[in-house]
Chain A
Amino acid sequence: MSLLWPEGKRRTPGALPPSLWQQVFEQEDIWTGELALQGARRTVAAVPIKDFEFWDVNAAAVVWQRTLHAPKTAPWPAWLPPLVALSWLLALSLALLRREMTHLAIASKATARALHRPVWPWSLLALIVWLTWAAFEWQAARDLAHAARQAHGELLAAARDYAVPIRLAPELRAELSHLFTVEAIVFWSLWLLAGLLFFATLAIVRNLSRPVHLKTALTGLGFILPSFLHLLIFSFIPIAFAFYISFHIWSILSPEKPFIGLDNYREVFASRDFWNSLKNTSLYVLHVPVGMAVSLMLALIMNRKNLPGLGLFRTLFYLPSITSFVAIAIVWQWIYNPEFGLLNYVLSKMQLGPYSWLNSPKTALLSLMLMAIWLQAGYQMVIYLAGLQNIPEYLYEAAKIDGANRWQLFWRITFPLLKPTTFFILVTSLIGSFQVFTQIYVMTEGGPLKSTDVVVYHIYKNAWDFLRMGYASAMSFVLFFIIMALTLLQFHFMRRREVW
């Protein structure tokens, strides 16, 4: 990436060949072609940089690709690995289905084992091959994304004096799309479909093998019907609709909603603001473990039989999580006031501060995290208390007879037995914190300098302030996948919760 300027203009790191300059000047749009630059012919894109009124072309930025370390294309056709992987999946599902059906037919174990022939060796090989290919692609795409980001940044720096529309060179955009080829999409959809079919067949086989009492069945379905219809209309269809929207340019104001394929998703992953919001959100959720440590400590102190006023304490701690979040956000904004706020006053008594809290990009997110700990401590503590009270007393007594001290009691009995509780709190709080919105909307509006711009707020902003609902939907799906992963993790661990 380098910048070239026509002679006679300001800041001239290198001269643009007159012919190219002429073309860019006349075309007033991005020009792509081959050019001899720094001793080699390269495919470049020249971006015209216009003046403040978008009238005159003042300069041009030339963008080209750096040499990449990874091969740009895989040595085999793109459709091969998905095909191999798909057949592997199919074989696996068939094998599993066969096994399930054998179980249903109450066959002997020997028959089941015979039917369940290993499909592993060659399918594993296929998986490895596919993963290698994917890794190459991923590396190439990452390098390109990096180059594109750098190009973008340098353009911005160079064009500081001009109001210019900055666009990435078309080649770079095309290269970025490697992650979202048609083959990849087809592959993943087929995978999903195969999985769904598999589970559907399984369910049908299972249910049909039992006798069905028609009237009871209809009654049961009738009881479910309102909820089913509601979920269908207000949850399932909206998800499908959001998916549809995410492939379009969608604004409520304009009647035209052109289909743009995967462009929204490409833009999401290339957007600095989105990565920034994702980074902020990831930093923000780090308050969860800290808050949990605090709540666990409080719960341990409160888990005593002879504690006076236990109910009162519990009420007090639980209070913040049931009151109005907007009101609490307003109160904390006043507490965080750098000049007249309560917090700086208390800190000044301890010879600390003053800090500017919400007004500085360095501390704004931290302030929100502190407040979140305060907000959630009670809820987490009540759950911990419930978990603590389920630990049988005899375990402690036995350990005490064996001479265990407090420290050992905690680390050897309390903490391991609280593991399911801890995991439950961790995941539910993480899911909640990934979706934080109200506090941001009321207290900081994403500022200062986008330091508290979290994902949900960013999506809201794009959908309702910039009227870019397609782009916002694409972003919301990225968040969806993060939260889905967390929830699946929770289901997985909840199922195998150990019972003592």
Chain B
Amino acid sequence: MVKRIQRTFSRRWPERFIALIGVALLLLAAFTMLAPFLWMVLTSFMDELEVFQFPPRLFPERWLWQNWREALTALPFARFFLNSLIMSLGITAGQLLFCSMAGYAFARIRFPFRNALFLAFLSFLMVPVIVLLIPRFLMVNFFGWIDTFWALIIPEMVSVWGIFLMRQFFLGLPRDLEDAARIDGASEWAIYWRIVLPLSKPALATLGVFAFVGSWQSFLWPLIATRSLYMRTMEVGIASFHTIYSDNWPLQMAAATAAVLPLVVLFFFAQRYFVRGIALSGMKG
């Protein structure tokens, strides 16, 4: 009996101890993740000079809501937001359509050079953006698209990663429904549009969320492809705000919070699609 208690105790207490340390580490890490965001929000309400003191104040003395008004009216942020939204929605729509079409063909339809073409498509995954940057800029300039939404949207409308993701998903779908439709004489397009697409809403949602966030975060291309202030996207707009108000940290923090907020809201609603995207993109083992 004593022996048994002893054994249980000696086996249990290191487990408990390790678990406790783990949770403590986890909490610490979570705090580290959160602290910059918290400080950003708190600083955005402070007075311009209040931030220049050591030790820094954690909470503002008075909550200055006008910081926000001032920051968001200093540059046309509403317009930036609209630009980002149009760009991201356009890119997302294009990727959803084209990537699912190509992914469906690669997964289901037999045609010559299918595997060779798929490999050729995949090989574009290793092209770094910077190689494409200069020629794309020159081409877009030649088309006269600089400073238009065409320049922002069209070069990103197809993503090889998206095609790969959709193909992986379609490969996992059961063929029975399609075959039934095929026997009934449905065309490939009807099968794709009426049967496969409605079945693949989760994959489409995943691709859509990734495409949206990815294009919202893109910085280098919008920086180059737009010239006038009214065509800047949120990211580029925030960066130029940063250069203009380089000493006024509360205003910068307010602008930064405004840039972070839409994405955070989106993330909280679409969280599970992010996790699924990771599982779908070949990491499931």
Interface residues of A (CB under 8 A from B): 199, 203, 207-208, 210, 212-213, 216-221, 223-224, 226-228, 230-231, 234-239, 241-242, 245, 252, 297-298, 301-302, 304, 307, 311, 313-320, 322-328, 330-332, 334-335, 339-342, 345, 348, 374, 377-378, 382-383, 386-387, 390, 406, 420-421, 424, 431, 434-435, 437-438, 441-442, 455-456, 459-460, 463-464, 469, 472-473, 476-477, 479-480, 483-484, 486-488, 491, 494, 497, 499
**Is B186 an interface residue when CB atoms closer than 8 A count as contact?**
no
Q: Which residues of B from 38 to 57 have beta carbons under 8 Å from A? A: 39-40, 43, 51-56
- 0/1 per residue, B208-232, Cβ < 8 Å to A? 0000010011011001100000000
The dominant DSSP class at the B interface is helix
Shortest CB-to-CB span from A125 to chain B, Å, is 33
7 nearest CB pairs, A to B: A220-B111, A487-B126, A223-B105, A220-B109, A327-B256, A238-B135, A241-B135
**Is B183 an interface residue when CB atoms closer than 8 A count as contact?**
no
* Chain B residues, Cβ within 8 Å of A298: 25-26, 29
Shortest CB-to-CB span from A213 to chain B, Å, is 7
Q: Which residues of B from 268 to 285 have beta carbons under 8 Å from A? A: 268, 271, 274-275, 278-279, 282-285
* Chain B residues, Cβ within 8 Å of A218: 111
Binding-face segment, B1-9, B85-93, B113-121, B199-207: B113-121
* Chain B residues, Cβ within 8 Å of A464: 224
Shortest CB-to-CB span from B114 to chain A, Å, is 7
Contact indicator B188/A223 (Cβ below 8 Å): yes
Contact indicator A325/B55 (Cβ below 8 Å): no
**Is B154 an interface residue when CB atoms closer than 8 A count as contact?**
yes
* Chain A residues, Cβ within 8 Å of B185: none
Contact indicator A476/B25 (Cβ below 8 Å): no
Complex: A318 Cα to B29 Cα, angstroms = 12
Q: Which of B98, B102, B113, B134 contacts A242 (CB 8 A)?
A: B134
Contact indicator B253/A331 (Cβ below 8 Å): yes
Shortest CB-to-CB span from B95 to chain A, Å, is 10
* Chain B residues, Cβ within 8 Å of A203: 113, 115-116
- 0/1 per residue, B56-89, Cβ < 8 Å to A? 1000000000000000000000000000000000
Contact indicator B126/A483 (Cβ below 8 Å): yes
Query: Can you name 21 A-B pairs with beta carbons within 8 Å?
Result: A207-B113, A212-B111, A212-B112, A217-B110, A223-B101, A226-B97, A230-B98, A234-B158, A252-B138, A297-B25, A315-B267, A319-B267, A326-B242, A326-B256, A390-B285, A421-B283, A421-B285, A437-B219, A473-B135, A476-B128, A486-B126
Contact indicator A224/B126 (Cβ below 8 Å): no
**Is B181 an interface residue when CB atoms closer than 8 A count as contact?**
no
Contact indicator B220/A438 (Cβ below 8 Å): yes
Q: Which of B105, B235, B253, B271 contacts A220 (CB 8 A)?
A: B105
* Chain B residues, Cβ within 8 Å of A387: 283, 285
Q: Which of B109, B217, B234 contacts A223 (CB 8 A)?
A: B109
**Is B144 an interface residue when CB atoms closer than 8 A count as contact?**
no
Contact indicator B25/A301 (Cβ below 8 Å): yes
Shortest CB-to-CB span from A395 to chain B, Å, is 13
* Chain A residues, Cβ within 8 Å of B37: 319, 331
Q: Which of A311, A335, A421 contacts B39 (CB 8 A)?
A: A335
Contact indicator A438/B219 (Cβ below 8 Å): yes
Contact indicator B260/A499 (Cβ below 8 Å): no
Complex: A298 Cα to B106 Cα, angstroms = 37
* Chain A residues, Cβ within 8 Å of B128: 431, 434-435, 456, 476, 479-480, 483
Shortest CB-to-CB span from A336 to chain B, Å, is 11
Contact indicator B154/A234 (Cβ below 8 Å): yes
* CB-CB nearest in chain A for B257: A327
* Chain B residues, Cβ within 8 Å of A323: 259-260, 263-264, 267
Shortest CB-to-CB span from B264 to chain A, Å, is 6
Number of A-B contacts (CB under 8 A): 295
With most chain A CB atoms within 10 A of its CB, the pick from B116, B131, B160 is B131
Extra pairs beyond A334-B249, A494-B282 (7, CB < 8 Å): A219-B105, A221-B111, A228-B102, A242-B134, A324-B263, A341-B56, A437-B130
**Is B172 an interface residue when CB atoms closer than 8 A count as contact?**
no
Q: Which of A221, A460, A477 contacts B131 (CB 8 A)?
A: A477
* CB-CB nearest in chain B for A390: B285
With most chain B CB atoms within 10 A of its CB, the pick from A238, A313, A390 is A238
| Contacts A220-B114, A241-B139, A484-B126 given; does A327 touch B134 at CB 8 Å | no
Shortest CB-to-CB span from B198 to chain A, Å, is 17
Complex: A483 Cα to B124 Cα, angstroms = 12
Contact indicator B101/A301 (Cβ below 8 Å): no
Q: Which of A216, A316, A339, A477 contacts B109 (CB 8 A)?
A: A216
Shortest CB-to-CB span from B98 to chain A, Å, is 5
Complex: A213 Cα to B33 Cα, angstroms = 56
| Contacts A224-B105, A483-B126 given; does A239 touch B98 at CB 8 Å | no
Contact indicator B188/A340 (Cβ below 8 Å): no
With most chain A CB atoms within 10 A of its CB, the pick from B34, B112, B124 is B112
Complex: A320 Cα to B115 Cα, angstroms = 37
Q: Which of A245, A325, A488 contacts B135 (CB 8 A)?
A: A245
Complex: A328 Cα to B188 Cα, angstroms = 46
* CB-CB nearest in chain A for B41: A331
| Contacts A220-B114, A313-B30, A479-B131 given; does A499 touch B138 at CB 8 Å | no
